Chains A and B, each alone.
Chain A
Amino acid sequence: MTGESAVRIGLLLPDLLGTYGDCGNAEILQRRLQWRGFPATVVPITVDDAVADSLDVYVIGGGEDSAQSLAADFLARQAGLARAVGRGAPVLAVCAGLQVLGREFTTEHGRVRTGLGVLDLVTTPARDRAVGGIRTRPVSSLLTESLTGFENHQGHSALGPAAQPLGRIEHGTGNGDGFDGAIQGRVVGTYLHGPALARNPELADLLLNWAVGAPLRPLEVPGLAELRRQRLSRPWRRR
């Protein structure tokens, strides 16, 4: 399936930020393209690699605190992702990924770290860890369907004026201010695991529409409508 014309999906730091199943987001984007006739490949970018600025879409996931600091070191050494964002490449950043793409975050040891700054947000440690199901309503007019996921983090993310929240919280904690995540240009951040794109196909297709530059035909994935019905309607299990 790979060739000159294949859509290339950059899976950033699966070795550091692959703890919470978020690598699945890359596989989901790949299949949703392939099933619609677009050749697509996943390009894993580990801590030993350089970040190519030429990929069509990027995903970065959640991980442990020490891994998050290493990821911030890695991104500080690399200009590729910032260049890709600058030319309009879509990015999905989940949990620790959201935090390192922000302007600044404070580690569990109280150290303030500079992030990549492609999302206008600052993250500080929250008092309690947020663990459990989360449901939000999209804020942006780019999305219409409720978002569902599982959150597991202890970050409070405050958005600046350049970023818009992704969703308004109906259940759960998210950023800690009644909203979850952020959209800024084509960079989307969220605290949702599940993975986020497994449970929220509309968000997957928003990223893919941006990546291929054209609306994509609808897609039925066996089991997905029922999964969304269950996760959006059932009582929420919090820890």
Chain B
Amino acid sequence: MTVLHRPSSRTRPSLPIRTRAAVAVGNAAARGSRAAGLGRGGIIGGRVSLALQPAALAHLCRERVVVLVTGTNGKSTTTCMLAAALQPFGEVACNASGANMPDGLVAALAASPAARYAALEVDENHLPAVLSEVTPAAVVLLNLSRDQLDRTGEVRRTENVLRAALASCPSTMVIANCDDPLAASAAMAAANPVWLSAGNAWRGDSASCPRCGSAVREALGGWRCFCGFARPAPAWVLDDDGELVHRNGLRIRLAPALPGRANAGNLAFAAVAAGSLGVPLGAAAAAAGTVDQVDGRYRVVGYQQHRVRLLLAKNPAGWAETLRILAPGTDPAVLAVNAREADGTDPSWLWDVAFDALRGRQIVASGNRAMDLSVRLSYAEVGHLVVPDPLAAVATLPRGPVELVGNYTAFRDATARLADDR
């Protein structure tokens, strides 16, 4: 592949004057926000730039090789891994910090004006809006399942709009998980889908066919509905030994630093996406596999006499993966659940999580909805204490390793406090 090296400049010379000005003002707003201690400045800067120049996202993506990563779970991790795979070939603009709506994308692009590549995670419900502005080289669609029903609505509606959006960009390669019927249904509309079999741990939203609603059954060759909608044959399979195998026989060993089958899947997607841009697959997989934390997730930090591993789980599918990661161990765990606006204000989804897997472990229910979690755990016959403050909850446990699993704001607040505490 050809790798272009551009001289770094604060603003890309090809940007129209109004966009350059909008980006400069947005960047200044971001610096101001950071200086005032209001946050990382990503979203405010992007919001300002977009207000001054609504076409800022389209302009900032011009002349870059853009890959968008979307889906319900694994976006940040996959994006981070993809950026690591592309880094040796040129600067990468990347937003793997959860700022995954158009303003967050603008901020990430504006912060790396000379980057040749952009690896951007996009909220699944905002992908159509982004695709109306940007023609990416590739879109990665990881999975689709229920998340924040009070805020974003139902997942089949999301699948419908994604399907229409992916049909509208025929020159974009769409790399999608053929084991997830909802993701497959959306990606099947693409002109150029590349199917990767990465598994599907939680099937609560794919028991009925996204096309006709009848039951999806397991059959030879994978899931199938009697209406004819069926699992597409994969070009790539992530096998049980952690090897990524192409149907032509090529095998690539994946060695993710991050735990769990889901992260092996994320690594497979990152490698295939990088490969689609011309990066040698072995090198892409090796570089992407070195990612060992994603915006604080999976990090182990010291707190008082404890070594706390930080895990994010914010919906039933994410919890199913997290329970798999926790399963081999016996370390005590703090489970922190908030129901603030960014989390979704209805924690009923806790009843779709098989918490009985935690029976026998020392568990503390925490977060601003600790009582909802407590009642859920009681009915799952998981003995536990209740301590609403997650760090106070950690402090009640014996010294040594602790798993701290939080949903979105619970995780974010706990990691910020642990960073301050060090």
Chain A residues with a Cβ under 8 A of chain B: 14-16, 18-24, 27-28, 31, 46-48, 64-67, 69-70, 131-133, 150, 152, 193-195, 198-199, 221-224, 226-227, 230, 237, 239
Q: Which of A46, A65, A132, A195 contacts B207 (CB 8 A)?
A: A46
Q: CB distance A31 to B381 under 8 Å?
A: yes
Which residues of chain B have C-beta atoms less than 8 A from A65's C-beta? 154
Q: CB distance A227 to B372 under 8 Å?
A: yes
8 nearest A-B residue pairs (beta carbon): A24-B351, A223-B374, A21-B348, A15-B207, A227-B371, A21-B351, A70-B213, A64-B154
A214 to chain B, nearest CB (A): 22
Which residues of chain A have C-beta atoms less than 8 A from B379's C-beta? 24, 27-28, 31, 198, 221
Q: CB distance B345 to A239 under 8 Å?
A: yes
Q: Which of A14, A64, A223 contacts B375 (CB 8 A)?
A: A223
Within 8 A of A (CB), among B304-352: 339, 345-346, 348-352
B126 interface contact, C-beta 8 A? no
With A64-B156, A66-B213, A223-B375 as contacts: A132 and B149 at CB distance below 8 Å: no
Q: CB distance B150 to A239 under 8 Å?
A: yes
Q: CB distance B375 to A152 under 8 Å?
A: no
Q: Interface range on chain B: under 10, 10 to 19, 20 to 34, or 35 or more?
A: 35 or more
Q: CB distance B378 to A224 under 8 Å?
A: yes
Q: CB distance A20 to B207 under 8 Å?
A: no
Q: CB distance A66 to B156 under 8 Å?
A: yes
Within 8 A of A (CB), among B348-388: 348-352, 365, 371-372, 374-381, 386
A69 to B149, CA, bound (A): 19
Sample of 4 further A-B pairs with CB below 8 A, known A14-B207, A16-B208, A222-B375: A23-B352, A24-B376, A70-B213, A132-B345
Q: CB distance B156 to A27 under 8 Å?
A: no
The contact sample of 9 A-B pairs, CB cut-off 8 A, is: A21-B352, A24-B351, A24-B352, A28-B379, A47-B213, A70-B208, A132-B345, A150-B345, A224-B378
Beta-carbon nearest neighbor of B216 in chain A: A15
Which residues of chain A have C-beta atoms less than 8 A from B339's C-beta? 237
B64 interface contact, C-beta 8 A? no
Q: CB distance A230 to B371 under 8 Å?
A: yes
A3 to chain B, nearest CB (A): 20
A46 to B204, CA, bound (A): 12
Q: CB distance A152 to B386 under 8 Å?
A: no
Q: CB distance B351 to A227 under 8 Å?
A: no
Q: CB distance B150 to A152 under 8 Å?
A: yes
Which residues of chain B have C-beta atoms less than 8 A from A150's C-beta? 150, 345-346, 348
A57 to B205, CA, bound (A): 25
Q: CB distance A195 to B378 under 8 Å?
A: no
Within 8 A of A (CB), among B238-265: none
